[in-house]
Chains A and B, each alone.
Chain A
Amino acid sequence: MKAYIYYLIKTKWLQTTVLAAIPTILSMTIIGLSTSYSNVNPHTYLPYPNILYTPVILMIIMVILLPIIRLSALKSAKDVDLYYALPMTQTKLYLSHLIFGLIQLIIVWTVMFFISLLVFIGIYPRVYINLWFLPLYLIGMIYISIVYTLNSFLFMRAHSIIDGIAFILLFHVALVVVPGASVIINYQLFGENIPFIINPFSGLITWANTFIILSNPAPYNYQIQIIFYDDQVRLISLILHTVIYISLTISSMIYTLKKMDTYKIENIGTLSHSLFGYRVMIPVILTFSIATLTDIGRGQSIGVIFMVIFTSFAMIGFFIYRRSVKLTKTDILSIIIPVILGIIISGL
């Protein structure tokens, strides 16, 4: 396995370079050209360095992109005979690709973050407490590893590249739509509105926000007050969130490794019936996206228009799932029931 990972590192260096260079250049350009920083510290009148979210946001794209690039070979009907005929177990083959992808991701994050930071420090020398950017880098590394592993898990549940991409996208759409509709639930649980707490990226952004606040050279007590007293709920939920996601990542990893050697490679290229994909994600997204119409279009025609649009997207999703316009009874029920549920929740 080691030898194969070395082989991948050696032969894919150009790909790694390009993957690192594009977001780095983008990040450098955005930071270099940006002049106005909002959100001013009322004590020092110094703006918070929110521009450092740029590499974090670019990384969000990369953790979706990299599992697809790295694992596509293992789900391509054309490449099956090449990769799975290699004399190594399916688990080792998967692990090699997963680890190499993680190495690429860490390289991309490290290069982009530190070059972006250098550009930032070049523009604002000795203004911020640069030491706080180091934990930002480290927490970024942990979170991108978490999301990368989760995305890889989802991709591997599919039997084709297209389905793998769809599974990842559906999962992330669900993580936006579900919390969007569950504002009330959040409020009841946490006493305030933290709608995106279940989204893995919310943890990354919140941690980044914590260190960005601390990097502002305001009186130390003031910073501590912001983080630990004024927003205790957010802090507790953030820690909980991180623990839950680390556990989820470990579980998904163990599940994939346990299943990998018994995975039937002859299924590659066939329809993907996984519960982590179309069959569950589409109804969930449909239910909660219609439920969000509570705020947008209750009792108005715009609400109905949105409902038709969401339902059409759900149907397209099932067409893609079945690779056909002929849907089964279960598929049709998987659309009708969420629509009814969504309408009930939204009170349209």
Chain B
Amino acid sequence: MIEIKSLTKYYGETRVLRKIDATIKDGTIFGLIGINGAGKSTLLKLISGMIRPSLGEIIIDESSPLFDESLRTKIFYLSDQPNYAPSSTLSDLAKLYQVFYPFDYQVFQEISNIFGVSVSTPFGNLSKGMRRQGMIAIAFATGAKYLLLDEVFDGLDPAARLKFKKLMIEYQTENRIFILTSHSLRELEDICDSFGMIDNGMFKKYGDLNDELHKIKKYQVILKSVEKVVLKENHPSYYQMTQEGRVLTLICDQTVDIQTYIEKDNFLACDESPITFEEYFLLQQEVQV
């Protein structure tokens, strides 16, 4: 279990994270989202023990990754911008990790084969996506209980994304925690069971992904006329409403019925659907869905 307690991080005078509190239970695939520069990578580095918090602490399995070296062998951090000597190979890099982790070379080979990445090709000759796939193979082969994967879908083609998601599900066990950051929210939605949205250095939203998505409902209404719809007096609040011609899209709380907004006589049909993770994110960012 990962416990984050009042975590604050300054880079010089700039406060990147402020008073973050969170608990991530074992067996979780946690999606960490936020706009660029929100502090996602910083949070992953803090969890990995690479950097020190300015205030607060991170407790993993009742110990601190800053001081407990044996704990750190259970954590693997995959950077969003891995940099390796162009002449070295994936196999060379695997040898480095073999020094520190209970590295399973067979798993490394198997996953590399799944992705179709050659372990003996120099990094200089591999594409960005292939390097990423190779690093994913290394990450799983380390046997780390805590996999912190930064911008993990970056550079992966649709086939590789699918293979990776299958791997995640296959390798997920009751005591493992995966923390992923990505801007590909559709991919995260498929595999994550909980999430945290960092905004302005804090968790704006945090919790079970399904529960959170089901709190909000999206109505697509076919109106009878193209004239701008007039909502009922004293209607409940809503998150967003847009009208294009006769199609009205209204996003509101799950508990609210469409007829509390519009007179039944004003529309022909109404379709109700859950919102996607991407739409949820945009709503929180107050961007038009």
Contact = CB atoms under 8 A, between A and B. Distances in A.
B52 A85 contact: no
B50 interface: yes
Contacts of B48: 85
B83 A4 contact: no
Interface in B77-117: 77, 79, 81-84, 92, 95-96, 99-101
Contacts of B75: 87
A81 interface: yes
B-side interface size class: 20 to 34
Given A85-B45, A86-B96, A266-B51, 18 more contacts: A3-B99, A3-B100, A4-B100, A78-B81, A81-B45, A81-B77, A81-B79, A81-B82, A82-B79, A84-B50, A85-B48, A85-B76, A85-B77, A86-B100, A87-B101, A88-B72, A262-B52, A265-B51
B233 interface: no
Interface string A79-106: 1011011111100000000000000000
Given A7-B99, A82-B82, A87 B92 contact: no
Interface of A: 3-4, 7, 11, 76, 78-79, 81-82, 84-89, 262, 264-266
A76 to B, nearest CB: 8
Contacts of A264: 51-52
A264 B52 CA distance: 7
B60 to A, nearest CB: 12
A85 B69 CA distance: 11
A265 B45 CA distance: 11
A266 B11 contact: yes
B73 interface: yes
14 contacts: A7-B96, A11-B92, A11-B95, A76-B83, A78-B81, A79-B83, A82-B82, A85-B50, A86-B100, A87-B72, A87-B100, A88-B69, A88-B100, A266-B11
Nearest to B65: A87
Interface string B40-76: 0000010010111000000000000000010011011
A87 B51 contact: no
Contact of B95 (A7, A86, A262, A266): A7
Given A3-B99, A7-B96, A87 B83 contact: no
A329 to B, nearest CB: 20
A50 B82 CA distance: 50
A15 to B, nearest CB: 11
B138 to A, nearest CB: 11
Contacts of A89: 69
Contacts of B81: 78, 81
Contacts of B83: 76, 78-79, 81-82
Given A81-B79, A266-B11, A266-B51, A87 B69 contact: yes
Nearest to B9: A266
B100 A85 contact: no
A82 B84 CA distance: 8
A139 B75 CA distance: 45
Contacts of B69: 87-89
Contacts of B77: 81, 85
A82 B139 CA distance: 12
Given A264-B51, A265-B51, A266-B11, A85 B99 contact: no
